[in-house]
Each structure stands twice: as C-alpha cells, then as structure tokens.
C-alpha cells in the first residue's frame, strides 16, 4: 500500500533545498540512543558534526552511573558516541553537555523528564531487583489527567490520579495515597518519569500492596513557579491549604475513596517530603501514614510534637535517604530526632543519591505498608 | 515556617563545590523564557556563556513566526536573548540551534513536545481567534492514560482516552472519535501538545460540539519506531488491524461508548491523516466520519472507490491543509480527485504550514460537525 507522502520527511527535504538546513540537524539522521545491549552495556550517540565537545552527564548534580562526566568521541560522520557499563539493572537519567557546558536532553530518546530547569532523558536497564519499575503484562490501572477548579487559589490547576485495575467496573471504595513531587517537577512527574503507576500495578498484581488510589497534585504555589526565575519561595502552608481545601474535596467527590484517616496516606520526594512531613503532622486527624523520600521536614515542629500522640496516631512513619544524597545529613538528622524522641518510624538508608532510582524503590517499599 | 533544605538547590551548591560545575549550567540560573508580554511581543532567553552562536528556530523545517532563523544576542552575564513580535494570538513551537546547528528545546520552558527526533518547546500567545486552545474555567473532561494488552501485536501498548465532563457521574453512552497522531509523535501528542482535551472542553462548554469520547492510540507499529533509525516503514495495514482488533474492543469494553457507525468517527494529522483515510475507506460499515489534517491518503484506492457508496455512507469527509505545508500539493490533489468524482467533502484550505496551530484549528472545525 502506497501513501502519497510522509509529510515530515517531505518537509525536511524541502527545507534543506531552501537553504535553511544549516540551522537544523537532519531530523532523519537521528542515531539510536541510548542503545541498551544484551550484556547491559549502554551506548550513547549524538549527531552533532559542528560541536567541539560532547560530555555525558547524569541527572543534575548526580552522575548515577559514571560518578564523573565522560566525553563522547566523534566519528567521521559527525556522530559522537560513548559506551559505558555493564550497568546494574535499574532506571537512569542522563543528558549531554555541549561545547563547554550547555545541557541538553538526548534528542534520540523520547523518554523525558520535564522540569523547571530543562528536560532530562531517561532509560531502563531491564531485570534485577528494580524490576518493580518495569511494565509487565499484568492488569493495569489508569492514570487520570484532571483539571480542577481551585477556589482557594482562584485558578485552575492539574492533578494526576491513579486508579487501580478494576476500578471502572467495580463499586468498592479505595484507600488513597497523596504522593507529592519535588522542587521544579510537575504533577506528571511521578507517573511520566517516576513510573508510579507501573510500580503500583506490579505491587498489586503480586499482592504486595492493597489496591489504592494515588493522587499526584501540583506542588508549587503559584503555578507560575514553573517558569519564574528565581522561583518564588515555596510556602508549605499554601500547599497544605490547597491540598486539604481544593484537591482532597475534588478527589472525594469524583472518585470512590474511603474518607477516614486510616485509609488516607501522604508521602513525597525532596520538597514533597518536607510538605508531607508538615501536612501529615499538622493533620494527624486526617492522615495515618507519612513518608519522606530524600527530604526532611521542619525539625522545630517535630521537636515540639508529642511522641505519645505520634505513636498513637501514625501507623507508619517512613523516612528514606541515599548516602550520596547531598541532603543526607539533614534527613538522617530527622531520623536521629525521632529515635531520640522514641517516635516509632522506619529509617531506610540506601546507596545512591537524590534521584528517581531511589524514589522508585522507596515507593515500592512504602506502598506495601499502607492500609494493612 | 522553615524547611531544613530545598534539596535541589542544596545539590547544585554542593556539586559546584566539588568541581563538577563546569559540565553543568547552573540549574538555578535559568532565565525566564519565553516571556510573553502584554503587547504580544515575546522574549526568548538562554543562559549559555560558552556558546558561540544561539539561533531561534521554529518547529522542524517551519518557522511559524519569523520565517527565518534569527540569532540571539549575548549579554555580559552569558544570557542570550531575542525579542520578536508582536505575534498574533495562537500556539507556537520553537527551539534553539547552538554553535552551528545542534537543536535543543528551551530549558526554561516545561512545555515540551516529545518526538522521535527530539523535543521542541511551545508557548501560547493568549486571545484571538485561536482561543479554543486556551484553558478556560469551564467543566473539564478527563484524559485517561491506559495500557492495554494487544493480542494482535503480542505486547502492551498505550492509548490516551478523553472522556467529556460529567462522564464519571453519568450513565449515558457517548459517540467516539479515533484521533491519530503524526509520524514520530506518540499517544500523548494530541493532548500533551495539541491540547485536544482543552479544545473539546471549550467546544462542549459552548455547545458547539456534542460531548464525545476521543481515543488517541499509538500510531506506529512496532512500538520501537520511537528509537529506531532509520524508522521501520509504517505499514498502514498493521495500524488498521491494531485499531480495529485491539484498541476498539478495549475501548468498547472499558468505556461507555455507542457502537454503531453513525456514532464513530476517525481523523488524524499527517501520517495519521493517511491512516484515517485508509482505515475509514476500508471500513465504511464502521465509520461515518473521516478527517485528514495536513495529509492525504492512498489516491489509488480512493480513485477506485464508488462515489455513490461514499456519498451514501459518509456523513462528513473533511480535508484540510495549509498553503505553506510542504505536502500541500498532495493534499490538494486529494481534494481535486474527490471533486472530480463528485464525492461530497469539505475542503479547508488555511494559511500556515505542517504544524500544531493548523491541527488544533482543524480539530476545532471538525469536531462540531460530528454526530449531529
């Protein structure tokens, strides 16, 4: 069967003829990158014939797998490449630094994390202990992308909501986890990049976690923090008010969720860890579970809190951090404080840094403890 | 209220101290870009102190608003900038070409289109005739991100499904539009970039379109076309089989949709236009509406088709193209063929090129004609 044309290819050809081509890399000359080989070596490639330097980077500040930036080498066709590994199974983020530092994602790779300071690319090396992030042919839940009208902020905002497999055809109500993202991330981050929906699908399929609804709101107030620089200060009181007076009522109206505190959890990463610790602490009548991934909380307010009350109210208080996280000492300090106060909690120290591989594993450890 | 730390800022500081900084732009020194001013002038900025050239580009091959690439100027702090306009209200895509051509999206702008050959950035200049793409405080539908198990392809694939406002709380069944993306795009493209959900919300709020379900499947077979280069040839027969034997049964099981041909439409952009024209033509017993946005169809098979049959079966056959589209002649050729054959159809010629601003407007013109 013959189609008249493939317009994108057509366009590239025509514009090359018109002489605009020098300003564009050839969109049809995009090399395979990253190429994940059977032996778990990974090859990165970039077509950039005029670049003077191309360096592989890990996620911002943290080179998960090389520990240092590594230069790619150019071949005679203008394709830069570098092979590293074998890498352990898991989730990796990376990008390129061009001509002395300008960061860019890998144009060959459609798996992108959107952030306030630019996108980063990601890939998965399959197998191994982190296979909870890998999509399997099990029943899948649905991620709902919702606008909601916030009377609180007098604007519309977005929230992502995961419903477990069978939600549409069933009648039962589900417990709910409010899952908060980090600074500079967006409401899509926990699913689009973090694969929270895949993690929950896998845990539920293996009967390791109860079926639950996961609500992923936007964590910055105002919304314009996405593009403002320097970003306005994050007021955790503002996000607490938004979560409790706008997001939660919308969720409890639109979705079949249980509304007692024993069926409501909160957790988050980095900035969202701090938000979860404060919102949870301020609202023990509403949350029986709190988790902080790679982030602390307001130590002053936790110092003042009554240990007996905390131990009575909180079914799980979960704190995790990687030893290579630049904020490790702060998070460990919260663990020490809770230990000193005899507040029951789980301290999960891992390797690795301030990055998705840890947050994915932390979620896979926290979710099974909920609503049991 | 004091938080212990904002980990991302903390990380950037620490790593700068460790001397890795030269390989990273400062993630906290991301200038505002694009800045859309009240007079509809737009300023683009990029922090790239070591770059030797930064040029503004439009979407691939097509400079919507400048007609030619334009250089940015560097200030003494390493921030490149350029102001253009005033621009007409509407939707724009752009990126930067660095140091002689390497394309990259704007790291300051989280609005990205993901494509096989690299992401591009986008922004909206508010107001004007294209306001159908602007989010308004009206009732909103929901976008469902679904995995489905394709027995046909023996793998799992994804599909995005828009349900109109009120779907969750109602009982009625809805008509359905299958909306297909272009070459190199993904199942998220029509919503994430094209704002199809916002367009439908607005049309439904204004009683200009019937409430409907919109199904946006992944249009490449196999899935690996996302990263393969050169891409495997697109077999339109393969996507037809996938749509009819895997996507459609899943939708009709999981969603409340009407299943007669008068309540089923198809349409798509570019590659998806060709797919829609073929799938629709081959299955007139299943589709009463066909649209092709900036793409043609298999002219040979349309030449052979019986005009009386087409006129009897098709309630709407809608074809649109921009005069600056490199594929204009091919699409216009289909219009001419249909006119010559006396096949009833709508020919929508517009300005502009092979790009989202046209596809968004085309959808806003096609959707109101459906299911009336």
Ramachandran quadrant class, A113 (left: phi over 0; alpha: psi -120 to 50; beta: rest): beta
Mean pLDDT of B61-86: 80
Q: How far is B264 from chain A (nearest CA, A)?
A: 22
Taking the C-alpha atoms of residue A67 and residue A62, their distance in angstroms, rounded to an integer, is 7
User: Whats the size of chain A, residue-wise?
Assistant: 372
pLDDT for B16 equals 28
Q: What is the pLDDT of residue A12?
A: 31
Q: Which residue has the higher pLDDT, B107 or A290?
A: A290
pLDDT at residue number A66: 61
* Number of alpha carbons in the 13 Å side-chain half-sphere of residue A255: 29
Which of 19-48 (B) contact A at CB < 8 A? 20, 22-25, 27-33, 48
Q: Which residues of B touch A32 (CB under 8 A)?
A: 227-229
The answer to whether the beta carbons of residues B271 and B219 sit under 8 Å apart is: yes
Q: Which of A88, A108, A128 is the last residue of a domain?
A: A128
| Contact criterion met (CB < 8 Å) for A325 and B69 | no
In sequence order, the 6+-apart residues with CB closer than 8 A to the CB of B344 are B310, B311, B314, B317
Pick the more confident residue, A134 or B198: B198
d(CA A202, CA A368): 11
When divided into structural domains, chain B yields a total of 2
pLDDT tens figures, B207-241:
999 999 999 999 887 655 444 444 455 666 889 99
Query: Which of B128, B154, B174 is the endpoint of a domain?
Result: B128
B88 and B149 assigned to the same domain:
no
A82 assigned to some structural domain: yes
Q: What is the pLDDT of residue B342?
A: 98
Query: Within 10 A of A194 (CB to CB), how many other CB atoms are there?
Result: 25
* β-bridge pairing A264-269 and A176-180: parallel
Contact B140/A118, CB-based, under 8 Å? no
Nearest chain B residue to A225 by CA distance is: B32
Shared domain for B168 and B112, answered yes or no, is no
- Assess whether A137 and A19 both reside in one domain: no
Its ipTM equals: 0.85
Q: Of A96, A128, A160, which one is at a domain's C-terminal end?
A: A128
3-state secondary structure chain A: CCCCCCHHHHHHHHHHHCCCHHHCCCCCCCCCCCEECCCCCEEEEEECCCCCCEEEEEECCECCCCCCCEECEECCCCEEEEEECCCCCEEEEEEEEECCCEEECCCCCCCEECCCCCCEEEEEECCCCCHHHCCCCCCCCEEEEEEEEECCCCEEEEEEEEECCCCCCCCCCECEEEEECCCCCCCCHHHHHCCHHHHHHHHHHCCCCCCCEEEEECCCCCHHHHCCCCCCCCCHHHHHHHHHHHHHHHHHHHCCECCCHHHEEEEEECHHHHHHHHHHHHCCCCCCEEEEECCCCCHHHHHHCCHHHHHHHCCEEEEEEECCCCCHHHHHHHHHHHHHCCCCCEEEEECCCCCHHHHHHHHHHHHHHCCC
Does residue B302 belong to any structural domain of this protein?
A: yes
Span between the terminal Cα atoms of chain B, in Å:
56
Chain A window 227-246: which residues touch B at a Cβ cutoff of 8 Å?
227-230, 234-237
Give the per-residue pLDDT at A120. 84
Of A227-236, B185-194, B286-295, give the lowest mean pLDDT range: A227-236
Q: State the greatest distance between any 2 C-alpha atoms of chain A, in Å, as a whole number.
A: 76
CATH of the domain at B99: 2.60.40.10
* Portion of chain B with pLDDT greater than 90, in percent: 54
Is 90 exceeded by the pLDDT of residue B200? yes
Which residues on A lie below 8 Å from B60 (Cβ)?
A: 8, 11-12, 24, 27
Mean pLDDT of B66-84: 87
Domain check: are A269 and A171 in the same one? Answer: yes
Evaluate if residue B279 carries a pLDDT over 50.
yes
Residues B176, B291, single domain; the answer is yes
Higher-confidence residue of B179 and B56: namely B179
Q: Token pair 């890990």 is at which residue?
A: A58
One domain for residues A122 and A149: no
Q: How far apart are CA B132 and CA B198, in angstroms?
A: 8
Residue B234 maps to which CATH number?
3.40.50.1820
Write out the residue range of the structural domain in which residue A108 sits: 13-128
In terms of pLDDT, which residue wins out, B128 or A191?
Answer: A191
Lowest average pLDDT, out of A45-59, A61-75, B119-133, B161-175, goes to A61-75
**Would you state the pLDDT for residue B114?**
76
pLDDT for B298-350, tens place per residue? Answer: 999 999 999 999 999 999 999 999 998 889 999 999 999 999 999 999 999 99
| Residue of A110, A216, A269 to mutate for B, most B C-beta atoms under 10 A | A110
Q: What's the residue count for chain B?
A: 372
Q: What is the predicted pLDDT for the residue at B60?
A: 44
Instruction: Tell me: do B208 and B107 sit in the same domain.
Output: no
More confident residue, B318 or B186: B318
pLDDT for res B276: 97
Distance CA A44, CA B53 (A): 25
CB-facing half-sphere around the CA of A98: CA atoms within 13 A: 29
A244 part of a folded domain: yes
Is residue A4 assigned to a domain?
A: no
Give how far Cα A130 sits from Cα of A5, A41, A256, Å. 43, 17, 31
What's the 3-state SS for B188-212? CHHHHCCCHHHHHHHHHHCCCCCCC
Is there a single domain that holds both residue B96 and residue B150? Answer: no
Task: Determine whether B366 is exposed, middle or buried from the number of CB atoms within 10 Å of its CB (0-12, 13-18, 19+).
Answer: buried
- B330 inside domain: yes
List CB contacts (< 8 A) between B119 and chain A. 105, 107, 110, 112, 119
Closest CA–CA distance from residue B333 to any residue of chain A (Å)? 10
Q: A189 and A72 in one domain? A: no
Q: What is residue B65's predicted lDDT score, i.e. its pLDDT?
A: 59
Contact of A227 with B108, CB cutoff 8 Å = yes
Please list, in sequence order, all residues whose beta carbon lies within 8 angstroms of the beta carbon of residue B304, skipping any fewer than 6 positions away: none
d(CA B167, nearest CA chain A) in Å: 10
B351 touches chain A (CB under 8 A): no
pLDDT at A222: 63
- Check residue A85 and give its pLDDT: 85
Asked if the structure places residue A88 within a domain, the reply is yes
pLDDT tens for the 372 residues of chain A, in order: 222 223 333 333 222 222 222 233 344 557 888 888 889 899 999 988 888 899 998 754 445 556 677 899 999 988 999 998 888 888 888 889 888 778 888 888 878 887 767 788 888 888 765 578 888 889 999 999 999 999 988 888 999 999 999 998 889 999 999 999 998 888 989 998 899 999 999 999 999 999 999 999 998 876 554 444 444 556 668 899 999 999 999 999 999 999 999 999 999 999 999 999 999 999 999 999 999 999 988 999 999 999 999 999 999 999 999 998 889 999 999 999 999 999 999 999 998 888 888 999 999 999 999 999
Contacts with A94 from chain B: Cβ below 8 Å:
none
**In A120-131, which positions are buried (b, 16+ CB within 10 angstroms) versus exposed (e)?**
bbbbbbeeeebe
Report the pLDDT value the prediction gives residue B244, as an integer from 0 to 100: 97
Whether residues B101 and A137 touch (CB distance < 8 A) is answered with: no
**B211 lies in some domain:** yes
Residue A8 lies in a domain: no
pLDDT at A19: 26
Q: A364 and A235: one domain?
A: yes
B115 and A CB contact within 8 Å: yes
Contact between A278 and A308 under an 8 Å Cβ cutoff? The reply is no
The verdict on A262 touching B (C-beta cutoff 8 Å) is no
User: What is the Cα–Cα distance from B213 to B154, expressed in whole angstroms?
Assistant: 26
For residues B293 and B273, state if they share a domain.
yes
Q: Does the beta-carbon distance from A57 to B23 stay under 8 Å? A: yes
Do B205 and B56 lie in a common domain? no
Residue B61 has pLDDT above 50, yes or no: no
How many CB atoms sit inside 10 A of residue B233's CB?
A: 11
């Amino acid at each position: 069967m013959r189609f008249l044309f493939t317009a994108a290819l057509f366009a590239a050809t025509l514009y090359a003829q018109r002489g605009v081509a020098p300003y564009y890399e050839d969109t049809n000359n995009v090399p395979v990158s990253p190429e994940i080989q059977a032996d778990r070596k990974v090859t990165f490639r970039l077509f950039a014939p005029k670049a003077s330097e191309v360096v592989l980077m890990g996620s911002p500040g943290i080179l998960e797998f090389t520990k240092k930036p590594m230069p790619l080498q150019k071949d005679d066709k203008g394709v830069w490449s570098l092979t590293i590994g074998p890498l352990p199974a898991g989730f990796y983020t990376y990008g390129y630094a061009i001509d002395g530092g300008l960061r860019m994602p890998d144009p060959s790779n459609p798996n992108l994390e959107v952030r306030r300071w630019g996108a980063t690319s990601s890939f998965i090396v399959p197998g191994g202990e982190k296979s909870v992030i890998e999509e399997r042919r099990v029943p899948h839940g649905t991620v709902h992308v919702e606008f909601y009208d916030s009377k609180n902020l007098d604007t519309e905002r977005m929230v992502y909501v995961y419903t477990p497999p069978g939600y549409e055809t069933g009648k039962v109500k589900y417990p709910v986890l409010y899952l908060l993202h980090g600074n500079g991330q967006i409401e899509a981050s926990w699913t689009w990049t973090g694969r929270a929906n895949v993690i929950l699908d896998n845990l539920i399929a293996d009967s390791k976690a109860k079926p639950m609804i996961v609500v992923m709101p936007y964590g910055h107030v105002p919304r314009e923090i996405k593009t403002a620089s320097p970003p306005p200060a994050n007021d955790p009181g503002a996000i607490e008010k938004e979560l409790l007076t706008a997001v939660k009522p919308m969720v409890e109206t639109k979705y079949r969720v249980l509304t007692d505190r024993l069926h409501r959890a909160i957790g988050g990463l980095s900035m969202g860890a701090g938000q979860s610790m404060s919102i949870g602490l301020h609202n023990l009548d509403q949350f029986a579970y709190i988790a902080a991934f790679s982030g602390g909380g307001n130590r002053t307010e936790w110092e003042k809190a009554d240990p007996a009350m905390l131990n009575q109210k909180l079914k799980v208080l979960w704190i995790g951090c990687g030893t290579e996280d630049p904020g490790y000492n702060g998070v460990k300090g919260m663990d020490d404080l809770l230990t000193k106060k005899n507040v029951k909690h789980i301290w999960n120290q891992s390797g690795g840094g301030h990055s998705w591989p840890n947050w994915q594993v932390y979620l896979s450890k926290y979710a099974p403890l909920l609503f049991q």
